[in-house]
Chains A and B, each alone.
Chain A
Amino acid sequence: MKYKDYYAILGVPRTASLDDIKKAYRKLARTHHPDMSKAPDAEVRFKEIGEAYATLKDTTKRAAYDELGHPASGADFRPPPQWQQDFAPGGMSFDDLDGVDLADLLAAMGQGRGGQRGQPRQAMPIKGQDFETSVTIPLEQARHGTSVNLTLADGAQERTLQVTIPPGASQDQKLRLRGQGGKGRNGGPDGDIYLHIKLAPHAVFRPDHHDLYFDLLLAPWEAALGAEVEVPTLDAPVLLTIPPGTRSGRKLRLRGRGLAADKSDLYAIVHIDVPATLSERERELFQELAKVSHFMPRGGNQ
């Protein structure tokens, strides 16, 4: 078995107080946490720091660890005979310690009911590993529901599960697949899978929870006089009635056309557009309109 110098890993003296050990751990954890560090070895380093802290913060484990003395880091050592009774997982023999990790041995300590040295250990039920994964689906599938295949690396083997996503999924929705994670041990329950749903960007529609928005461009005369225009939905195009006097920025609702058919809507946001170039006749008509119209969009005083 290889010796690991947990004090050196945390950068504290062997006489360090629990407070000092905690402070050193938190400082290192903040630096090497995989969510914060971009270093390629951040995860390994974080695990190593966590392993050292798990032993040194526990007075019983720390005392047992200190019994080993101070061999060089990485040096081979044999655990004291008392450890056979205290730590050996599943009655494992200390005659064969090849491949056994010091951390595993120390972690096994205190897992039995009672959890003290010298007491017989009893296997505790351990829940299986939870998995977190994400899937990106198009809006059409979010509205109608779909099934996706998830491939999970579960230990040495790969598993593929077909998961049904119910109709009406929304951005950042989380699903729990109960009991589909790693296998439980010692009678513990199986883990779960947590599936994070993301919606693929759409060329036309923008989601807000279950509602959808899109830009509806109208000609000035359509907005002023009213019209019936064909608009897209996630199913098929429909005719939308534009009321006379529709102003730019107005939201026109298409009930039940959002991501959740029965409780969400599709909104057309009106934008009034004008031709970039005018024909002679169009120019005449706009000039005529400008003469006869009393409409003052910037208020009467301007």
Chain B
Amino acid sequence: MNHASIESFTLDSTEVMTLTELADCCGMSPAELDELVDYNALVPLTSLPERAFSAHWLTPMRVAAKLRMDFDLDLFTVAMLLEKLIQIELLERQVQALQALVPSHLRQS
């Protein structure tokens, strides 16, 4: 049993990840991530000296990388998939925002 308190990093736009770190975390190579950037599916914050990304990319990237492995998808398909995953995430946020406005008595019905 290890009860030492563990530091956590929030995977949102407040944290920044290098290309290498993002590649390691989603099990892809830096060259593959560069290709996703070329397809405009992945957008870096900066490109010099090394490409850096908002940590919010990590979750959809890991989902896309897992589906790539599970279904042997090519990188272009991963790029399309990533775009759709981001879109789903945004739509889910919109649904949550609208649900928050719905009065309790209507939500229960």
Q: Which residues of A line the B interface, CB within 8 A?
A: 22, 25-26, 29-30, 33, 46, 50, 53, 57, 127, 130, 147, 149, 159-166, 171-178, 180, 189, 192, 194-195, 206-209, 211-213, 215, 269, 271
Contact = CB atoms under 8 A, between A and B. Distances in A.
B48 interface: no
Contact of A206 (B8, B70, B72, B99): B99
A57 B72 contact: yes
A162 B62 contact: no
B58 A163 contact: no
B11 A174 contact: yes
7 contacts: A25-B72, A162-B3, A174-B59, A175-B8, A209-B96, A269-B101, A271-B103
Nearest to B73: A26
Nearest to B69: A50
Contacts of B25: 130, 176, 192
Given A209-B96, A269-B103, A271-B103, A30 B10 contact: no
Nearest to B106: A215
**Closest 4 interchain pairs by CB?**
A208-B100, A175-B8, A174-B11, A206-B100
Nearest to B62: A194
A160 B103 contact: no
Contacts of A177: 6-9
Contacts of B96: 171, 207-209
Interface in B93-108: 93, 96-97, 99-104, 107
A277 to B, nearest CB: 19
Contacts, number: 97
B5 interface: yes
B70 A164 contact: no
Contact of A162 (B6, B10, B72, B101): B6
Contact of B71 (A26, A159, A171): A26
B2 interface: yes
A175 B2 contact: no
Contact of B8 (A159, A164, A212): A164
Contact of B5 (A30, A33, A164): A164
Nearest to B8: A175
A211 B2 contact: no
A50 B68 CA distance: 12
Given A160-B2, A162-B5, A163-B5, A22 B72 contact: yes
A173 B1 contact: no
A172 B94 CA distance: 13
Given A26-B71, A164-B5, A164-B6, 17 more contacts: A50-B70, A159-B1, A160-B1, A161-B2, A161-B4, A163-B6, A171-B96, A173-B10, A175-B10, A176-B9, A176-B55, A177-B8, A189-B24, A194-B62, A206-B99, A211-B100, A271-B103
A162 B97 CA distance: 31
A211 B93 CA distance: 12
Nearest to B25: A192
A136 to B, nearest CB: 16
B11 A176 contact: yes
Nearest to A207: B100
B59 to A, nearest CB: 5
B62 A195 contact: no
A214 B96 CA distance: 14
Contacts of A207: 96, 100
B97 A180 contact: no
A173 B15 CA distance: 13
Contact of B97 (A25, A161, A195, A208): A208
Contacts of B103: 215, 269, 271
A207 B102 CA distance: 11
